[in-house]
Chains A and B, each alone.
Chain A
Amino acid sequence: MDQILGNIDLLIQFPIVNLKIIIDGVMIGALFALAAYGLALVWGVMNVKNLAQGDFVIAGGYVAWWMTQKGIHPLLGVPAAFIIMWGIGWIIYKLVISRVIERDLFTSLLATFGLAIMMAQILNLMFGSDTQSIDLGYETLHFADGLIDIPISKLIGVCMALSLAAGVIIFMKRSRMGQAIRATAQDARAARVLGIDTEKVYAFTFSLNSAICGAAGAIIVMAWVIQPFYGITYSIRAFVIVTAAGLGNLPGVIAAGLGIGAAEQYGSHIFGIGYQQAIAVLLLLLVLVVRLLIQRRKRQVLQ
């Protein structure tokens, strides 16, 4: 208890720390938002709840890391991870996901959970269980007496995340495929009647999700660290964000992503870093309860 009060006291004594916490939170939150956006896409379009979301992220990170080991410039790892994870996503779609789309909701949850276990362990066997990261060798910017520090690598990562998100938004709005995806999300049957090849749309959507996650992972490995078993951390965050923001609500997803990043940093500053995972999960429960209460007022349930 004393410690919690002491930590709050620090926030009041050094107001600049608040800024630092928010910046840290927003930076990691941008990556959470990316993974969450992919989840919202897959969830909304084909009603698949992908529990392996975080493992796609980590797999993308390892693709980038492996390419750097082979002497390719780290920044090229991001597009490379995007492309390779696109392919892996497509294979997984054909083998597994395409067969669970029409099934009940719990099926996709469990099937992707099995996938998550497999992917984490395969990564562990291939790359070992050490934490890995890519050192870009860039400087760190210091502000406010060194209290705020922003490594340039993180800055680059966040910019790449933002431009990727922007690219996806424009793609969804403008392109034929984007329109087909949105049409399928609204009503798959009607879309089929109107001549949209929904099977193709599903395959594309899932591959796109996998690719987005892969790119997010490639950014994470440059600015943070990855480890084969970290996937679940990102999966939980993605679920929290999508549950909070709802499907098909991209600005909502981004806002929720940044917000959860910041909330988590605040939580781990005040209660201690040991509570980080607990805070994320409790936020999920909180979001569920709040949405429940709203629904209850309309005499409905959350489903």
Chain B
Amino acid sequence: MKKWSAIFAPALVALATTAPSSAYAAECEEIVLGSAISLTGKYATNGVHAKNGYEFAIKKIKENGGIKVDGKCYNFNVIYYDDESKGDRGATLAERLISQDKVQYMLGPYSSGLTKAIAPVTERYKIPMVEAEGASRSLFNKGYKYLFAVLSTSEQYLASAVTLAEEMAKKDGKEAGDIKVAIAVENDPFSLDIRAGVLEDAERVGMKVVIDEKLPRDLSDMSAILTKVKLLKPDLLVVSGHSKGAATAVRQIKEQNIKVPMIALTHCEAADVTGNFGDAADGILCSTQWAETLSYWDPVFGTAANYEQEFKSAYPEYKEKKVPYQTAQASAAVMVFMSAFERAGTLDKDAVREAISATDMTTFYGRIKFSEAGNNIAKPMVLRQIQNGEYNVVAPSAFASHGLDWPRK
């Protein structure tokens, strides 16, 4: 089996990516990682973003001289399978990676739903998985020991939007009880957890939730919800539904001329709403795990801004748009593995698991330190507002570079 994976894994990678540079890495040995990722199906857009992030990090690490484990030099190599955005497929493929391809370390899939399906498998085989794309809190209350997430959990995505809405409404002379919130989220684990977070915050503050709807998987039209928005005039509209949800929302908000003082979305960058819809996207708040304007730094990628620049030159298809945070955090997950291997000084699976668990490092993506449950507790979420086609950080105040435009025109 070893032989087979040695033959096929490079072939697969070569098939799927632009020729990996191998010229000056010849003397380094290989550490094989495995990942089931969505190349087709409803999450394909973001699955590809994540995969590019993995590949870019691996390439950079290779160029930087590889990973030094106990005096020897290694490079990463990833075996990918296409999980088709389907949970049961993902679980089967994880099983195959572990038992047939003998993969000892896993990178995560895209989305909370897929991570939820795969985590029990990696847990069963005690395979450490560092994931970058599953943010639902329901992943971290199961007592998993081998699951580590570099990103912030999803209830934090729009928490600061709720706080901002409260501040602004109070400034406007409104009581918290008069603030109306409209929620439209996709019916999947990630977005439902966003909804749960917003509901909790809104309840704590005492806001009133006037619309609370779930978007279907094949969303192509949300005018029914937006009509209700027109009638009920909420102060805050929250939409979360991966790239498709963001694109549909922005398009129809413009078409139906929706006037809500504050609109908050997820996945703006991944859907490239500024590039696709121009001014229509102005004034919208977007939550992000990472922004290239933040002042983080690490020795492999340099600053966050540097990461964006180099990534764009490696992947020209991103030239015209923002590098989505889905890509950055995927690269960060590879960084965690690198650091863990170097600190462990061995390829022994359990030692590496301990090293991952003890991670406390700064990367271009932000600080990474895992809680007992495996989620990253050292990195804040950032809220950006699209102002004249630019993404400007408006919250939390420690990072804010611009003031909030309120109310949205």
Contact = CB atoms under 8 A, between A and B. Distances in A.
Tell whether any CB of A sits under 8 Å from a CB of B in the complex: yes
Interface stretch (A32-40, A98-106, A125-133): A125-133
Contact of A269 (B219, B224, B257): B224
A277 B247 CA distance: 20
Interface stretch (B208-216, B293-301, B330-338, B363-371): B208-216
Contacts of B41: 129, 229
A243 interface: no
Contacts of B251: 133, 225
Contact of A274 (B216, B221, B228): B216
Nearest to A231: B218
A227 B224 contact: no
A124 B47 CA distance: 14
Contacts of A281: none
Interface in A221-279: 224-227, 229-230, 232-233, 265, 268-269, 272-277
A149 B252 CA distance: 11
* Chain A interface, DSSP helix/strand/loop, else mixed: helix
A142 interface: yes
B22 interface: no
A5 interface: no
Contacts of B100: none
A121 B40 contact: yes
Contacts of A130: 45, 243, 247
A128 B225 contact: no
Interface string A87-124: 00000000000000000000000000000000001001
A32 to B, nearest CB: 13
Given A151-B255, A225-B251, A277 B243 contact: no
Interface in A132-146: 133, 140, 142, 146
A146 B259 CA distance: 11
Given A227-B220, A274-B187, A20 B214 contact: no
Q: Which has the most chain A C-beta neighbours within 10 Å: B216, B224, B248?
A: B224
Contacts of B222: 273
Sorting the interface of chain A by its residue count into under 10, 10 to 19, 20 to 34 or 35 or more gives: 35 or more
Given A129-B44, A229-B41, A233-B218, A14 B224 contact: no
Contacts of B187: 274
Nearest to A145: B230
Q: Which has the most chain B C-beta neighbours within 10 Å: A7, A21, A140, A274?
A: A274
Contact of B44 (A17, A128, A232): A128
Interface of B: 40-42, 44-45, 184, 187, 212-216, 218-225, 227-228, 230-232, 243-244, 247-248, 251, 255-257
22 contacts: A10-B228, A28-B221, A129-B40, A130-B247, A131-B247, A140-B257, A149-B255, A151-B255, A224-B221, A225-B247, A227-B244, A229-B41, A229-B42, A230-B220, A268-B224, A272-B214, A273-B215, A273-B216, A273-B225, A274-B216, A275-B216, A276-B216
